[in-house]
Amino acid sequence: MQRLFILTLSLIAWIPAVLCWVSTKKEFTGPEGGSLTVQCRYASHYANHVKYWCHGWTRTFCDILARTDETSSANQDKVSIFDDPGKFMFTVTMNDLKETDSGWYSCGVELASGADDMDYTEVKVFHGVRVVNSTVSGEEGSSLTVKCLYTQRLRLSEKKWCRRGDLSSCLLTGSKGSYEDASVAISHDITGAFTVTLKKLQMSDAGWYLCSAGQQQADVQVQVRPHGSTKPMTTPPTPSQPWYRFRYMLESIVGCSSLLLLVGLAVLARKIQRKKASSRFKETEEIFPDNPKGMRDLQRSKEHIIKIDNKGTINLLAY
């Protein structure tokens, strides 16, 4: 119990840092040689505070790469930061990504006293091909778009869109970097991504496909629902859904509540411990009724355990 109490006291100083006023997504992915953008949101009362982006997930072990109060730095070409107080959000852009850039990073707001307010995220830099959404859905007769990302070393490689298991279905971008027919359009901007648009969806378009660049590829599942169908689609949540917009806030509230509960339990445990100690002192006073001064000295010292051996000798053991 005593150890739990001490641990809780050590965490109290960090309570301001976890009151959940800074938030970001828990993961960002970018292609090797390309770039990625991180958006960090904060509460309105932080509008005039200094914001920063650092490599690490605790302030003690976080190497600051960019700050909003520094107009230029040695890392400016690699990392840039922009604060928009009107939207209560600051944006970080990481350029020329390398696989070694993968790791944990933090959005931070500098506070004059106490621990800074921070939220951490994981940055993943990949080599090969990735898709922004591995599952895409649309209604029969409409269109949908798939965005395929690839690393810099695959920039000049041939780009393909194929139905998985059917090589004869592959559509190539060719020398122009694009392809289009009545049902499919492929646009390649040579900046680390190409976009596939499926037009006038048919039920037969549903299935698994491949985004391919050179020998690298990524799977995509296409779902098509009948026109006018009211059947709910099993698609991943998007930012347009209200609960998703507040997901990070809910996660923060749960985290804060857990810490406060821990503090409450530790205080309760300490009170129980003191009550037991007081009870032991009363028992000791009954054994030494004629020595009140010695009893007061005993109460000022550490807590003791009384042990009586088989000879009737009384021993006081400190602990």
* Total number of domains in the chain: 2
Within-domain flag for 12 = no
Residues of the chain with pLDDT > 70, as a percent, come to 68
Stronger pLDDT, 252 or 161, i.e. the higher one: 161
68 plus 139 within the same structural domain: no
Stronger pLDDT, 241 or 76, i.e. the higher one: 76
Nearest-angstrom CA–CA distance, 217 and 158? 11
Adjacent-strand bridge partners of 78 = none
**pLDDT tens sequence across 206-228:** 999 999 998 889 999 999 999 87
pLDDT of residue 234: 46
Q: What is the CATH number of the domain that holds 169?
A: 2.60.40.10
Whether residue 237 contacts residue 137, with contact meaning beta carbons closer than 8 Å, is answered with no
Nearest-angstrom CA–CA distance, 223 and 228? 15
**pLDDT tens sequence across 68-79:** 998 777 777 899
Stronger pLDDT, 133 or 256, i.e. the higher one: 133
120 plus 139 within the same structural domain: no
Take residue 274 and report the two structure tokens written for it.
């003191």
pLDDT of residue 270: 75
Among the candidates 126, 155, 185, a domain finishes at 126
Nearest-angstrom CA–CA distance, 41 and 242? 16
61 plus 116 within the same structural domain: yes
Pairing of strands 207-213, 216-225: antiparallel
Whether residue 136 contacts residue 223, with contact meaning beta carbons closer than 8 Å, is answered with yes
Among the candidates 205, 225, 245, a domain finishes at 225
**pLDDT tens sequence across 272-318:** 877 766 665 565 555 555 555 555 554 555 444 454 455 555 555 55
Within-domain flag for 267 = no
Among the candidates 169, 199, 225, a domain finishes at 225
Question: Is 85 exposed, middle or buried, given 0-12, 13-18 or 19+ CB atoms closer than 10 A?
Answer: middle
141 plus 84 within the same structural domain: no
Among 80-84, 170-174, 192-196, top mean pLDDT goes to: 80-84
Within-domain flag for 77 = yes
Within-domain flag for 154 = yes
Q: For the chain, what is the mean pLDDT?
A: 78
**pLDDT tens sequence across 189-202:** 777 889 999 999 99
133 plus 116 within the same structural domain: no
**pLDDT tens sequence across 6-24:** 544 444 444 444 455 899 9
CA 209 to chain centre: 30
133 plus 119 within the same structural domain: no
Give, as one character, the DSSP assignment of residue 232. Answer: P
Range of the domain at 147: 129-225
Q: List, edge to edge, every strand of the sheet that includes 117-126.
A: 27-31, 117-126, 103-109, 51-55, 63-67
159 plus 177 within the same structural domain: yes
Pairing of strands 207-213, 193-198: unpaired
144 plus 113 within the same structural domain: no
